[in-house]
């Protein structure tokens, strides 16, 4: 079933709008934030194109990478969500946060919300995630989310670890029963 927002204990998630571009560019131009992504966005135009891709995905599937906002203040924490994989007809979880929000459990909190939505609402059978195999913080997040190592792969010229979690086969109820509120 489609939904238009996700809410966790500390965060609100919603689809991106064009007006988010400057706030997103503020972290996507940071080389440290983009260290494992093959380079930061040079211009605001690069970031606008990324947001347009997210919005195209939203129109096509009803979900995408979304803006993650701090509850109460509305500050943009980063982005998190599900995007189609390039090589197989599956979806993968992604997360990228502005540096000042790292190490507070936010990527894991968003990831949990997306996995619940993926399995309880969207009826996906698996969710994948990948990162540069040297990216220990991201690997730690995938493991904390209950994902298991699936394979190594060369993606965008980078040696990556691909992780996977299965949610189907009667396990839907386990994902339905807690934590995240969704608004249709
Ligand atoms: C990767 C990223 C999303 C993690 O977000 P976060 O909100 O800090 O993640 P969490 O706090 O939920 O969990 C991070 C875990 O990694 C651990 N960690 C952080 N840096 C680490 C490092 N250099 N080596 C090993 N573990 C590390 C933390 O201790 C924590 O584990 P713990 O809860 O067991 O202590 C964030 O650092 C980020 O946005 N990085 C830039 C963008 C990016 O690389 N995105 C992923 C692309 S695949």
102 CA distance to ligand 1 middle (Å): 7
User: What would the pLDDT profile of 131-150 be if each residue is shown by its tens digit?
Assistant: 999 999 999 999 999 999 99
Q: Whose CA is nearest to atom 32 of ligand 1?
A: 140
Confidence band for 184, pLDDT divided at 50, 70 and 90: very low
Q: Is-contact 96 78, C-beta < 8 A?
A: yes
R_g over Cα of the chain: 15
- Domain residues for the domain of 22 are 5-183
Show the 3-state SS of 71-89.
CCCCCEEEEEEEEECCCCC
Mean pLDDT of the residues in the chain: 92
In this predicted structure, what is the pLDDT of residue 89?
86
Query: Which of 13, 103, 146 best tests ligand 1's pocket when mutated (most atoms within 8 Å of CB)?
Result: 103
In this predicted structure, what is the pLDDT of residue 183?
60
In this predicted structure, what is the pLDDT of residue 171?
55
175-180 mean pLDDT: 56
Q: Is-contact 40 28, C-beta < 8 A?
A: yes
88-107 mean pLDDT: 96
Q: Give the binding-site residues of ligand 1, using a 6 Å CB cut-off.
A: 33, 36, 78, 95-97, 102-108, 131, 135-138, 140-141
95 CA distance to ligand 1 middle (Å): 10
Give the total number of structural domains in the chain: 1
What is the number of the ligand 1 atom nearest to the C-alpha of 141? 13
User: What would the pLDDT profile of 31-73 be if each residue is shown by its tens digit?
Assistant: 999 999 988 889 999 999 999 999 999 999 999 999 999 999 9
- The continuous run of DSSP H or E covering 23 comes out as helix 21-28
CA triple 70-61-2, angle to 5 deg? 65
Percent of the chain with pLDDT over 70: 91
172 CA distance to ligand 1 middle (Å): 27
Q: Is-contact 32 99, C-beta < 8 A?
A: yes
Q: Whose CA is nearest to atom 48 of ligand 1?
A: 131
Q: What is the pTM of this model?
A: 0.93
Higher pLDDT, 171 or 111: 111
1 CA distance to ligand 1 middle (Å): 31
In 3D, which of 129, 121, 111, 125 has the Cα closest to residue 175? 121
Q: Residue 144 maps to which CATH number?
A: 3.40.630.30
102-112 mean pLDDT: 98
Give me 152's structure tokens: 């190594």
């Amino acid at each position: 079933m489609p939904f238009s927002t996700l809410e966790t204990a500390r965060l609100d998630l919603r689809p991106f709008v064009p007006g988010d571009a400057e706030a997103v560019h503020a972290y996507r131009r940071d080389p440290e934030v983009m260290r494992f992504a093959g380079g930061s966005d040079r211009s605001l135009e690069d970031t606008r194109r990324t947001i347009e891709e997210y919005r195209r995905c939203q129109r096509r599937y009803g979900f995408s990478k979304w803006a993650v906002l701090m509850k109460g203040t509305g500050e943009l924490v980063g982005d998190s969500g599900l995007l189609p994989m390039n090589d197989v007809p599956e979806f993968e979880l992604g997360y990228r946060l502005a540096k000042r929000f790292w190490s507070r459990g936010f990527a894991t909190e968003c990831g949990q919300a997306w996995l619940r939505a993926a399995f309880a609402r969207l009826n996906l059978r698996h969710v994948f995630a990948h990162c540069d195999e040297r990216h220990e913080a991201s690997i730690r997040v995938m493991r904390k989310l209950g994902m298991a190592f699936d394979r190594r792969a060369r993606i965008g010229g980078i040696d990556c670890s691909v992780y996977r979690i299965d949610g189907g086969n009667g396990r839907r109820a386990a994902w339905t029963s807690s934590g995240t509120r969704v608004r249709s």
